[in-house]
Structure 1
Amino acid sequence: MEIDFLLVGQGLAGTALSFRLMEKNLKCILIDTPLANNSSRIAAGLYNPVTGKKMVRTWMADYLFPEIEPFYEKLEEFLGKNFLIKKNIYRPFLSVEEQNEWMGHSSDPLLQPYFEKIHTQALYNEVNNPYGGIMLKNSGYLDINTLLDAYASYLIEKEMLMQEEYQEDFLEVTDLGIRYKEIKAKGIIYCNGLGAMNSKYFSNLPFAPVKGEILDIHQDFCPNVIINRGVFRISLPNGLQRVGSTYSWHDLDTGPTERGKRELLEKLEKLIFIENKKIIHHKSGIRPATKDRRPFLGKHPGLESVYIFNGFGAKGVSLVPYFSKIMVEFLLNGIEIQKEVNISRWNQT
């Protein structure tokens, strides 16, 4: 079987990149163990233009955010499923000083595309927001599981998904491309998250895995916006609220922890005044983050047909639409990938 590209991993990265390639009429096959893409499936899927304690614009927001909603809407139309949920994000101010600072920012043309209104008084009685807050727009979340399941069904129907464990020992790399079992391809692309750490081709890249935990709870407060300060709180269509997320670089075991649950609940109590809540689900996943918090894109320095599209960490939903387009331009037209995300920045040998 001769194809253009073999992709390892059908998480968010492999899904987006293969879709972009197929839009260019290229033949792809993906290898993925069912339900193995844990980091994608556990992720809350938030896309948020203003982040961090200092509430600054997300890195490269002016490039990333114009791509996010159009890309996922195109995937929704293609698959006949809905998984993009557009919602404003309300971020309470912590002080009068912060409120005043944002009032000063309100005329900044660089920030105006990302916020709808600055509130100087409490907007919700149930929220700790005595100084008001900022209502962000161009934001929301992705139902990643629905996307991955629908795309996997499409791939299976088209005989484009090998549901098995990838075994690198079967990979042969030549000057003309690669062979994997019965498949010949022009190239192979590692989109398999932390699995790439075990590859002899990319084990030198400085992955920095981060564990994240989230809770699904039942609590009597269901605003039509995402509340985000310290933790995010999303009202889900099923009547539950999703609360997250923790970030741990040290505790990388595979399961949820009491410490993670306690941290989330303590932060939630500081944000939301309603005491009654019932924990329905407690989940965890290991994110394929990187040392410098920038993704890995590019070609192996010594091999013409071995590539990587990986390392998107906690912001994959925001990063993947734009960078999948950049990766396709590199693969097809040789347009150089910017140094900030190019694996050449690590001088891999």
Structure 2
Amino acid sequence: MKADFLLIGQGLAGTILSYRLFRAGYTVHLIDDAHPSASSRVAAGLYNPVTGRKMIKTWMADILFAEIEPFYQEMEGFLNQKLLHPQGIFRPFISFEEQNEWLAKSADDQFEGFIKEVFTGPQFPGVNDGMGGLLLKKAGYVDIPVLLQAYRTWAKSQGLMTEAVFSRNQLKRGKDGDWEYQDLTAGGLIFTNGIRAKDQGFFDWLPFAPVKGEILTLRQDFYSSKIINRGVFRIDLGNGLGKVGATYDNRNIDLEPTAAARQEILDKLRQLIPEKVLEILHHQVGVRPATPDRRPILGKHPSEENVYLFGGLGAKGVSLAPYFSRKMVDFLHSGEEPQKEVNINRFFKYI
């Protein structure tokens, strides 16, 4: 088999970049072992233009959010699957000062297009929103597990997927400089496997800052057409089910669900939505491939020819992947360097 690019990892990064390359006319092949640490497989898939404790507009929001919904709609058509769930995100106020602050910000040009409405009184039955809240638009979630499985099924049907653990020992250079791996020859090698890219020797110097996250799927007598978000988010899955999370732990990077994280999520949910939790169906764990500056990593290995990395998407992968996968394809096609904030060369000092 021959391919222009061999991609290692079929999480969100590998799925979207390989799709972009395929649509651009390149031949691709993926190797993936569905490792349980892949955060993509448990991620809620939120895209939210105003985030953080200080509720600031997310980095590059005006550019990134123009691509999110059109891109995932395109993938829905390609895979014939429902993936995109545009929903408002509602954040209740906890003080009159916060309410007044957002009434003022709603007239600020920088938030134009992202604020749907500012409420000064309760709006959503069952939510602790006595002081009203902020309703954001251009927000929602992407069903990442469905996306990954549908794309995997398609890739396998086309002979573009190898389900196996990638082994560096089986990788070698061909006579013409291409990469040879088992029965595959590829012009370029792209690591799209998150923090596991450090395990294969090429990128062991990258300073990933992984974050463990835990998330619950539970049952309540509660329904909302909006994502409710304060301390934790709650995505309504229908039939009384909700996905609630997430925790952030940058010290204990393992795959073990913890009672402490479970209780933290439930306590914060109780403050947000007092309705009793009837049942916890799933308690899942993933490790986000974050970076010290919370920016993705794009580019070429500093010394190895035809070795690249696309990753570090962290907790905002759904928002970052559509735009920066396009920029990665531009780089691979024409050599157009990614912008400095995401360029891999910002970490060359660690070599």
TM-score band by shorter chain is over 0.9
Residue 235 (structure 1) shift = 0.5
Per-residue Cα deviation, 1:75-128 (whole angstroms, up to 9, x for no partner): 110011111111110011121111111111111222121111110111124212
2:203 aligned residue: 202
Cα distance, 1:37 vs structure 2 = 6.3
- How far did 1:38 drift? 2.8
Q: Say yes or no: does 1:267 pair with 2:288.
A: no
Distance in 2 separating the partners of 1:282 and 1:66 = 33
Q: Which residue of 2 aligns with 1:244?
A: 245
Tell me the CA shift for residue 182 of structure 1: 1.9
Report if aligned partners of 1:11, 1:37 keep a CA contact under 8 Å in 2.
no
The corresponding residue for 1:160 is 160
Which residue of the partner structure matches residue 143 of structure 1?
A: 143
Partner of 2:231 in structure 1?
230
Aligned to 1:30: 30
Specify the code of the residue in structure 2 equivalent to 1:263.
E
CA shift digits 1:239-298 (9 cap, x unpaired): 301110000011222121000001001111111122343211111111111122111110
Q: Which runs of 5+ in 2 are unaligned?
A: none
Judge conservation of contact 1:173–1:305 (CA < 8 Å) in 2: no
* 1:39 match: 39
Q: How does 1:48-197 map to 2 (within 5 A)?
A: 48-173=48-173, 176-197=177-198
- Structure 1 stretches of 4+ with a deviation exceeding 4 A read none
Deviation, structure 1 residue 219: 0.7
Question: CA offsets, 1:31-84, max 9 Å, x none?
Answer: 011455631011111110110111111111111111111111101100111111
d(CA) in 2 for partners of 1:41, 1:105? 36
Aligned residue number for residue 317 of structure 1 = 318
Asked whether the equivalents of residues 9 and 31 of structure 2 are also in contact (C-alpha less than 8 Å), the reply is yes
Q: What is the match of residue 9 of structure 2?
A: 9
Cα distance in 2 between the residues matched to 1:320 and 1:239: 31
The whole-number CA distance in structure 2 between the counterparts of 1:327 and 1:63 is 16
- Structure 1 counterpart of 2:324, one-letter code: F
User: Which moves more between the two structures, 5-14 or 174-183?
Assistant: 174-183
Equivalent residue number for residue 340 of structure 2? 339
* In structure 1, distance between residues paired with 2:249 and 2:308: 28
Cα distance in 1 for partners of 2:186, 2:153 equals 23
Q: Distance in 1 between matches of 2:60 and 2:178?
A: 34
What CA distance in whole angstroms lies between the structure 1 residues aligned with 2:245 and 2:195? 21
> Could you tell me which amino acid in structure 2 is paired with residue 7 of structure 1?
L
- The 1:183–1:224 alpha-carbon spacing in structure 2 relative to 1, beyond 3 Å, is same
- Amino acid paired to 1:91: R
Give the Cα separation in 2 of the matches to 1:239 and 1:35. Answer: 30
Taking a change above 3 Å as real, the CA distance of residues 331 and 37 of structure 1, as seen in their structure-2 partners, is farther
Instruction: Measure, in 2, the Cα distance between the counterparts of 1:234 and 1:209.
Output: 24
> Are the counterparts in 2 of residues 10 and 37 from structure 1 also a CA contact under 8 Å?
no
Tell me by how many angstroms 1:238 deviates. Answer: 4.7
CA shift at 1:17, angstroms?
0.2
Q: Greater shift after overlay, 313-322 or 168-177?
A: 168-177
* Deviation (angstroms), 1:199: 2.0
Q: What amino acid maps onto 1:200 in structure 2?
A: G
CA RMSD of aligned residues (A): 1.4
Shift of 1:153: 0.7
TM-score relative to the length of structure 1:
0.97
- Report the Cα distance in structure 2 between the residues aligned to 1:49 and 1:113, rounded to whole angstroms: 10
**Equivalent residues of 1:86, 1:141 under 8 A apart:** yes
Classify the secondary structure of the residue corresponding to 2:238.
coil
What SS does the aligned partner of 2:109 have?
coil
Would you say the 8 A contact 1:127–1:272 is kept in 2?
yes
Q: In percent, how many aligned pairs have the same letter?
A: 50
Q: Distance in 2 between matches of 1:72 and 1:238?
A: 25
Q: Mind listing any 5+ residue stretches in structure 1 that lack a counterpart?
A: none
**1:229 positional shift:** 0.5
Distance in 1 between the 2:277 and 2:24 partners? 52
Stretch moving more, 227-236 or 176-185: 176-185
C-alpha separation in 1, matches of 2:156 and 2:130: 52
2:37–2:255 CA contact under 8 A, matched in 1: no
Deviations along 1:149-192, one digit per CA (max 9) or x if unpaired, are: 11111111100001111001122246733222222211100001
